[in-house]
Amino acid sequence: MEKRRLGKHLEVSALGLGCMGLSHGYGAATDTEDAVALIRAAHDRGVTFFDTAQVYGPFVNEDVVGEALEPIRDKVVIATKFGFELPSADGGQHLNSRPDYVRQSVEASLKRLRTDVIDLLYQNRVDPNVPIEDVAGTVKDLIAEGKVKHFGLSEAGAQTIRKAHAIQPVAALQSEYSLFWREPEKEIIPTLEELSIGFVPFSPLGKGFLTGKIDESATFGPGDFRSVVPRFQAENLKANHALVTALTQIAESKGVTPAQIALAWLLAQKPWIVPIPGTTKLHRLEENLGAAGVELSPEDATEIAMALAKIDIVGDRYPAHLQARVGK
């Protein structure tokens, strides 16, 4: 698979693997043996970039990723995240990026990931109670100590990115971006381009919506995060299905799948964009990775742009309490 660069020095496969869904967010966790096998299958097919976080599980996902990648540690890039107080006394998710807690979190992640160094360390969400300069300074010290190689932010706003980057160069921003959520095009992508920071879109398939496998009447169980996402509520889901219809028509004309068009579109936006689709199934993994070989012509891009211009996506991408934590 083709390689891409995040920031100035971090080289990764053009498509990474988002590992969250193997143990968090979409219902019951995948059996550990199967999850390990899927992660290793991704590497066998050219993926060198694997994404996890302490909060996924919590902790379980880092354990799975660590086990899967231990035999090939020198051939892969592992990204993980800090920023939530885990475990919390009341079971909620509370932000904590105090320098002492960041250090404590990193030491624990290193053990779970079975490694001496974290290749890319993200702040999971901006903590309004800790100046971003202090967070960046802490990661800068961890880099100097050899425990971390590169610094990243997740769901941060443009001004926060600038402040952090001035203290410690930011290699990558991870935020949601897809044909289903294009808000980053307004301010975030121009900022990243100016500062030579890579972009790692999570949910590049719209939490499964852009695969075409979620119909207008779909429902989601209590263990599935989509059950509380406004965009996936019944009326919004029905309205938003126009996007899937348009995407399917374009995909069929090229002999590929809607998911492959959605990923190819992202790859075509900028050479420093590296999507991290997740899956629990081998055939979906192979389908997703096939997108790296899909070429979109100028005519294809125009057709997609024209289709998007006719569609209004309805519903927020997060419930209000989570939306309040992004873009800070």
Q: Which residues are catalytic?
A: 56
Calpha distance 39→59 (Å, rounded): 17
Residue type, 245: T
- Whether omega before 87 lies within 30 degrees of 0, making that bond cis, reads yes
Backbone angles phi, psi at 176, to 5 degrees: -70, 135
N- to C-terminal Cα separation, the chain: 34
Calpha distance 142→149 (Å, rounded): 8
Q: At what angle do helices 32-44 and 282-289 cross, to 10 degrees?
A: 30
Tokens of 197: 């920071």
Would you say 192 and 161 are in contact if contact means Cβ atoms under 8 Å apart?
Answer: yes
Largest CA distance in the chain: 55
For 34, counting Cβ atoms within 10 Å of its Cβ (0-12 exposed, 13-18 middle, 19+ buried), the class is: middle
Q: What share of the chain is helix, strand, coil (3-state, %, to 5)?
A: 45, 15, 40
H helix or E strand, kind and range, residue 134: helix 132-144
Please list the residues that pair with 121 across neighbouring strands. Answer: 80, 151
Calpha distance 85→92 (Å, rounded): 9
